Structure 1
Amino acid sequence: MRFMKPMPLNSISLKILLAYVAGMMLSIMLLVIVAVVLVKSNVLARMDLADAADELVKKIEFNSNGRPTGFDSSLDDRAWLYEGPQRETAYRILDDDGIVVAFSSRGENFWPVDGDLLRLARGSFTFEHEGNIFYGATKPFEHGGRKWYLQFVASARFLDILHKVALPRMVAGILVFGIVLFVAFGLCAYITLRYTLKPLRDVSESAATISPRSIDARLSTEAVPTEIAPLVDSFNRALERLERGYRVQQEFLGNAAHELKTPLALIRAQIELKEGGKNERESLLSDVTYMTRQVQQLLLLAEASEAHNYHFTSVGMQEVAHDAASYLQRMAETADVHLAVRAVGDVKWKADRAACFTLLKNLLENAIQHAPAQSSVSVEILGDTLTVRDRGPGVDAEQLPLLFERFWRAAHRRDHGAGLGLAICQEIALAHGWRLTAEQAEPGLRFRLSGGEEGGSERLA
């Protein structure tokens, strides 16, 4: 039957049930141990005698003068135990002055003349008579406006016999009670756990059905236990992040296909014109160069998006900036743009050097493409902040958020790039825990790269 199918060893239900079983078995063992200890010690005997004295007070008879005379045997069929010629039990009643006014058949000589029992106060006492130990209890009571004291004793061997008879019955009762409790509680716990954990099984089945075709699905937390709901919420948030990443990748592939479609069509047309004798070699090479650049930037973007491609070391940012400026020097000379690098002190950041070079190269290349002739592009490094500024026309305020989107191009750039350079810079900055922003510089545009502690990277002096 499915209801009784075995649970795996790492099941939460099995572990909870085992904990319940262990707790129940321990409780039963403790009950048995406590019962045995109480029976073997005189604590139980004193408690029993104190309870017996409380009951005996209710059965005391008084004469017309208000003095106690004994027990009313008509009220209890066990009165013979206290009145008959017994050697194992005895009682006596004393007034407030300690004078005995009534006693059992053991007589007055049975009672010792010193010890704790002469202290007329509620409590227990012990004495020895003819080699036997007697346990006793004193119970004060009032009648007729006077205070009286009942003292009742029983021999240790008499109590021992009673307890030996009672102990097996007590242990048997505890065991029967424990077995019944174990079966009833265990069954209830199993059913409760099964239906309590049912929402988790439903959530697991729902999670198993999620695929790229249904990545917008979310797990329901309506019937999930409160302790598990945060885990399900975290899983849903992880699904949201995966969905966004999946959508971005799908959009990226669509844009890449669209961007490569046009140059491929142009190359096809050039080849067809070549066959007709109307080929323009320069246009064909330009299209091939453009495609090569797009493919290269697509590869760089893919690499920048993967954290395992980075190797973090202590990087001198001034040195990297000079290397990037030297690499683009010919491009700057062609555009008649001056490159300047200024750094205060020897600033070192914890970063991937190759990624830093790519980031600065792309920022400088973007600035050169938008800088007017005979202007300058400057790189400033100050502590945990690096800025790249040009003196070009800049962009409108509403276009600033679009600068880092993939395949977006400004209208006044010199070349026909793929629009991926700044997107690559943003991916590199995010991978390092930095913050890359763009702001209007009046004139021109300033890119600000914030590293250090606020940006999430580690600044090394």
Structure 2
Amino acid sequence: YNTILNIGKARYNEQNHFYYGGLYHTDWGDYIVVVSASDPYGFKELDALTHILIIVFVVFLVLIFVAGRIFSHYTVKPITSIINKVNNISANNLNSRLKELKGQDELAELVHTFNNMLNRLETAFETQNNFVSNASHELKTPLAIISGEVELLLARDDISEKTREATKVILSHAEKLGHILTSLLGLAQSGFDGKRQNWQRIRIDELVLEVADAVKKIDPEGTIQIDFSELPSDESQLFIDGNLNLLQLALSNILLNACKYSNHQMVKVGVSSKQGRVSVSVIDEGIGIPDEEQQHIFEPFFRASNTGEFNGHGVGLPLTLNIIRLHKGSIGIRSEEN
């Protein structure tokens, strides 16, 4: 009031309440007029609207997120199903196919294309399988006849010494060719899908004992020491699913190499099981492999530069590698020359 009396007018606001007053002079006297208004600019409504918009925005974000997750789930579900089915298809079940989808969209075309690829792969595997089977019969049969005839010739007493020596050379090379042929056929067969193989439960420590006895019969001068000190207490960890004949062949290849290239020094074989995986280690004191050549030892027909004094064909380790891979295992080597 004092401000109005002194100046003639005044403004004042408090907590969004506005007041205006003025002094008016009339014939009937002086009058002070004061008017007030609450929230004349709609600040409360704007503030409430802001809160409402924020809440609506958050709710819409949640709804959009949930709707997006649901939409993406049903959109990606066919692709996820295809991926899971494809991951379950391996060389062991090439006869499996993806379920054909109705329609002409990209997913249906993808499934159709993948099934066509599986058809071609299965045909290629069957063709290779038939070739190896036929080659096994067609090549080994005449070779066996040659070896048999040569042995009959050597059994005769009416041949000259020169002819006998030449015949022994023929027999030696025929046997060598037979070993090469057997190894090559095994190398090819070990890459098959395994559906025609006899898979069974195999106990690794028993497999090692059987192979060690077989190697001693093949190479009586070889010395093999078996270490079972790291066997797990739970015997179930020693069992794997596999083909007994192929695993025997793979392990015997490694042990025979160890005995041969170590000049029949002690060869140590150990068996252990860690984190659900069975490991077999073979340690020898042999000639070793040059560092620059170790990356090639699993290549067919490769022989290290320091193996010239030893007989071999360079197919044993590649065959072993294929067999181990067929059983979803791995094989590695650490070697020092001499």
Asked which structure has the greater CA Rg, the reply is 1
Q: Which has the higher contact order (CA 8 A, sep 6+)?
A: 2
Q: TM-score, normalised by structure 2?
A: 0.48
Q: TM-score, normalised by structure 1?
A: 0.37
